[in-house]
């Protein structure tokens, strides 16, 4: 075999090997920005092909393009997690692009602040439809695909408000408490398929949800109060949640399922958020 032909053969074999490598695949909802973007970025760095699923179509596209420019595999899929056809399409697009689903991170979430007697019923329904129904739909459609892959991990991003909440957070606290119940039930249903289900419950995070719909002074005061309640005198960054997710989906946490991890900088050790 001439040197030229040998080089062609080696190149072809290398290409076959490269194409035959099956990456793990992660869907992260609400990942166009903030916590979700940090999670998708961390999983991409860990070797996952990531699906950026978000109702913010333009930002989702930008995030996916940003990851691809860095050499990662990423796909943006516009998704309103309240709508079952869109969630089903989200999973189908992941399978079509990357061959399957190994990890689902139900991160998409919204918050409503208001006294329980003054919270509009439509607002209460909206919060639960995104935070709880959205996670249910994701699990419903991703789990059968994971089963065909031999298993997987589902991570539900809940909140400290499922354990200790504040006045004016009825809708949000209800949705996140429900998410922990869903986590436990889904872990029981899906364990037979080697699918683990875990909830992560962050405290205050320096992310868009903290800053949205309030002025800068109010947001800074909220951050100050949460930091003051922490033994570490700090609030979380999106990357802190992302690192926790990366551990939960790894083999190092293979015995972890049906539980809620409180990731709150120690705030729950002293419930006085002052």
pLDDT confidence bin for 10, thresholds 50/70/90: very low
The whole-number average pLDDT for the span 135-153 is 98
Q: What angle do CA 147, 87, 153 make, to 5 degrees?
A: 35
pLDDT at 225: 72
Are 30 and 50 in contact by the 8 Å Cβ rule? The answer is no
Burial class (CB in 10 A: 0-12, 13-18, 19+), 120: exposed
pLDDT confidence bin for 9, thresholds 50/70/90: very low
DSSP secondary structure string, 56-89? -HHHHHHHHHHHHHTT--EEEEE--TT-HHHHHH
The whole-number average pLDDT for the span 127-134 is 98
Q: Which residues of 26-58 are buried (b: 16+ CB within 10 A; e: fewer)?
A: bbbbbbbbbbbbbbbbbbbebebbbbbbbbbee
pLDDT tens figures, 29-51: 999 999 999 999 999 999 999 99
Q: What domains are defined for the chain?
A: 21-267 (3.40.50.720)
- Catalytic residue at 48? no
Are 220 and 177 in contact by the 8 Å Cβ rule? The answer is no
pLDDT of 243 > 60? The answer is: yes
DSSP secondary structure letter of residue 162: G
Nearest alpha carbon to residue 48 among 250, 244, 268: 250
Report how far residue 162's alpha carbon sits from residue 127's, in angstroms, rounded to the nearest whole number. 14
Burial class (CB in 10 A: 0-12, 13-18, 19+), 64: buried
Catalytic residue among 141, 172, 197, 205: 172
């Amino acid at each position: 075999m001439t040197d030229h032909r040998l080089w062609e053969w080696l190149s072809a074999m290398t290409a076959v090997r490269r194409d035959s490598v099956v990456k793990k695949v992660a869907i992260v909802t609400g990942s166009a920005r903030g916590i979700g973007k940090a999670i998708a970025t961390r999983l991409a760095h860990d070797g996952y092909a990531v699906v950026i699923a978000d109702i913010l179509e333009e930002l989702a596209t930008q995030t996916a393009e940003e990851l691809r420019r860095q050499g990662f595999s990423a796909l943006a899929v516009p998704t309103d997690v309240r709508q079952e056809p869109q969630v089903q399409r989200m999973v189908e697009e992941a399978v079509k692009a990357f061959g399957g689903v190994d990890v689902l991170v139900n991160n998409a979430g919204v918050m409503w602040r208001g006294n329980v007697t003054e919270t509009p019923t439509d607002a209460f329904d909206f919060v639960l439809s995104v935070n709880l129904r959205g996670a249910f739909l994701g699990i419903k459609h991703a789990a059968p695909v994971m089963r065909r892959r031999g298993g997987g991990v589902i991570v539900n991003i809940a909140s400290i408000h499922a354990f200790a909440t504040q006045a004016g957070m009825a809708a949000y606290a209800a949705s996140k408490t429900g998410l922990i119940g869903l986590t436990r039930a889904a872990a029981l249903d899906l364990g037979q398929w080697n699918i683990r289900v875990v909830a992560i419950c962050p405290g205050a995070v320096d992310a868009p949800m903290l800053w949205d719909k309030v002025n800068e002074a109010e947001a800074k005061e909220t951050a100050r109060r949460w930091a003051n309640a922490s033994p570490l005198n700090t609030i979380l960054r999106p990357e802190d949640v992302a690192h926790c997710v990366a551990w939960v989906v790894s083999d190092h946490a293979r015995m972890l399922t049906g539980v809620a991890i409180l990731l709150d900088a120690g705030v729950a050790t002293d419930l006085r958020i002052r």
